Amino acid sequence: MNAPAKLGAYGLGLVVIFSAALGVGGAVGAVGPSPAGDGHAAHAPSLPARPAAQVVPAGLQVSQDGYTFTPETTTFTPGEPATFRFTVTGPDGRPVTRYQVAHEKKLHFIVVNRDLGGFQHLHPTEAGGGVWSVPLTLPRAGTYRAFADFVPEGGQGLTLGTDLFAPGDHTPQPLPPAVRTAEADGYTVKLDGELTPGTSSRLTLTVSRDGAPVTDLEPYLGAYGHLVALRAGDLAYLHVHPNGAPGDGTTRPGPAIVFEAEVPSRGDYRLFLDFQHGGTVHTAAFTLRAVPPPAGTTPAGTTPAEPDHEHGGH
Ligand SMILES: [Cu+2]
């Protein structure tokens, strides 16, 4: 019976945190995935102390820093190919037409089921006048989250998110359990490493096929792999940067792809790895739980773990 009350309280909590995060942005000049400097407590004296790393993660907002993700339509027939068109509206209220290239593209477009059961990484084309256009099929009925990941010229990188809908009966799927290997198109990908909230965590993904390491991965968007991490529950979008690049003299084309990931909180994350081999892009998906390190090993610069009732539980 008290579920609505809890939801209401949760929503209020989000509003408070959101407002505080904007305050941090105004004070230090940036709200982004990197931890901001401290000192924010002075601007929000009525709020309890809050780790600076808990600024609003990317992907949760349809509008941020004056930029707004504006879809032409948000409802699609399940399983039917369609064209998704959208603009990004800038601070002046007009569609943004000038972008910086990042990872070889001006804009990266990610679509995932709200239950994290699917993943599409697409690259829309410019249709003129700031309109982006991309063929899109929402494979089954349900609610989806679409992310536009871009850098407006002269601005900061942003990931804006909006919901898309495919009407019809559907049964949400539970989050797949955490496992250390994933299959993708006949490839096996093994995940090593842990996610530690609030600090950079090294993740190594190793690709093999038929038991043999794959040592001739092909560059895709300027790297041997791209990793998107989405937080279960709200689909916060985490930027994950690969270590090294093709042609830098030290980065090998597999079988291991190394990333540095930083997640803002404990909880479950769904990781999607894109890699290219044989001229085709493959996607391997993992569930990984972020837990604070055991007491006494808290990395410098992070907030000490709460009393650890989950100790040894994962
Ligand atoms: Cu992309």
pLDDT at residue 271 tops 80: yes
- Measured in angstroms, how far is the CA atom of residue 294 from the centroid of ligand 1? 36
SS3 assignment, position 11: helix
- Measured in angstroms, how far is the CA atom of residue 216 from the centroid of ligand 1? 21
pLDDT of residue 51: 52
- Measured in angstroms, how far is the CA atom of residue 228 from the centroid of ligand 1? 10
- Measured in angstroms, how far is the CA atom of residue 274 from the centroid of ligand 1? 10
Q: What is the mean pLDDT of the chain?
A: 83
Cα distance between the two ends of the chain: 31
pLDDT of residue 118: 87
Among 79, 35, 69, which residue's Cα sits nearest to residue 54?
35
- Measured in angstroms, how far is the CA atom of residue 108 from the centroid of ligand 1? 4
Could you tell me if 202 and 299 are in contact, meaning their C-beta atoms sit under 8 angstroms apart?
no
pLDDT of residue 34: 40
Could you tell me if 50 and 36 are in contact, meaning their C-beta atoms sit under 8 angstroms apart?
no
Confidence of residue 1 (pLDDT cuts 50, 70, 90): very low
- Measured in angstroms, how far is the CA atom of residue 244 from the centroid of ligand 1? 18
145-173 average pLDDT score: 96
pLDDT at residue 169 tops 80: yes
58-70 pLDDT per residue, tens: 999 999 999 999 9
Ramachandran bin of 67, using left for φ above 0, alpha for ψ from -120 to 50, beta for the remaining angles: beta
- Measured in angstroms, how far is the CA atom of residue 58 from the centroid of ligand 1? 16
pLDDT of residue 241: 73
Between 2 and 132, the higher pLDDT residue: 132
- Measured in angstroms, how far is the CA atom of residue 107 from the centroid of ligand 1? 7
Confidence of residue 48 (pLDDT cuts 50, 70, 90): low
- Measured in angstroms, how far is the CA atom of residue 221 from the centroid of ligand 1? 7
194-204 pLDDT per residue, tens: 999 989 999 99
Distance CA 99, CA 154 (A): 8
Between 44 and 232, the higher pLDDT residue: 232
